[in-house]
Amino acid sequence: MLRPDDPIYLAGHTGLIGSAFLQALPAAGYRNIVTRTHAALELTDTAAVEAFFAAERPRAVILAAGRVGGIMQNQQTPATFIDDNLFIQANILRAAQRNGVERLILFGSSCMYPRECPQPMAESALLTGHPEPTSLSYAIAKLAGVQLCRAYNQQYGAVRFIPVIPNSAYGPNDDFNPATGHVLSSLINRFHNAVATGAADVTLWGSGTPRREFIHTSDIAAAVIALLQLENITVDLPINLGSGIDYSIRELAEAIAAVTGFTGQILWDSSKPDGAPRKLLDSTRLRSLGWRPGVTLDDGLRETYQWYKSRLANAE
């Protein structure tokens, strides 16, 4: 069991998921949070990561760092996605094992699941089919990270490394650039700009029919802290982490249009890829440990949009 003053290394603390822990960990009573910026510690540098772990000796690690992005960026830079994520995961897990880390959380991705997969997707469906081609390099890297956790646990006889698979995360500190961000944050940017410029319509990629499950980063942080506090993990790994409700991209776009005040027409460019037809996780095993999501999509969208507008105002 972690004690309040035990050092917890939070990798990726400035990103979408990592930044949620900067509030959640102190609120849960943990006072010794260790962070490093990308400039201070290059996680693809094996020697630098090993030296950092040897000096800091964290008792727990939350690995929220990695190369992430939407369909466009996955298509344009697949080598960068697989290369960076493989090195980051391998370097941190090796250093954690060598330096006595007692609990490590690694984030997988729902894109690891087969493109055509029974819904909701149970953890047992992993590796039963081919992942969505538009994010294949990222999916392969994340599958490798999950298996690396399981392999260390098996070889060294203790469940210390826990792979968690969150579905589409959103919240403050997201990437709102349509060229690099995921669908929810990109849509917030698109509709906000449409309102600001008085645009009569917004054209979006695909058909709008694919369905996605979204989970607020504060819910992810709460679930992970619950896992860090468990004496023993009694469920098989990895562990799905989802809200339990999915929405079509069309429904999401309409909800974001309402939040941002856009009243124009939403058009769909069906010549662009849709991605996987549906991605809904079966989070039964995590719920069996007592966790429940606390943020509805409507509330989460309003909060995220308010944060986005505040950031724009501060940048002026």
DSSP string, 79-136: HHHHHHHHHHHHHHHHHHHHTT-SEEEEE--GGGSBSS--SSBPGGGTTSSPBPGGGH
pLDDT tens digits, one per residue of 183-197:
999 999 999 999 999
Task: Locate 16 and state its tokens.
Answer: 């979408």
DSSP H or E segment with residue 215: strand 211-216
Mean pLDDT, the chain, integer: 95
pLDDT tens digits, one per residue of 132-188:
898 999 999 999 999 999 999 999 999 999 999 999 999 999 999 887 888 999 999
Cα distances (Å, whole numbers) of residue 310 to 56, 165, 218: 35, 30, 19
Task: Locate 257 and state its tokens.
Answer: 């249009």
Yes or no: is domain 8-174+214-244+279-295 CATH 3.40.50.720?
A: yes
Residue of 30, 113, 138, 247 with catalytic role: 138
pLDDT tens digits, one per residue of 257-305:
999 999 999 999 999 988 888 999 999 999 998 999 999 999 999 999 9
pLDDT tens digits, one per residue of 67-97:
887 777 888 888 999 999 999 999 999 999 9
Q: Answer yes or no: 138 catalytic.
A: yes
CB 120 within 8 A of CB 282: yes
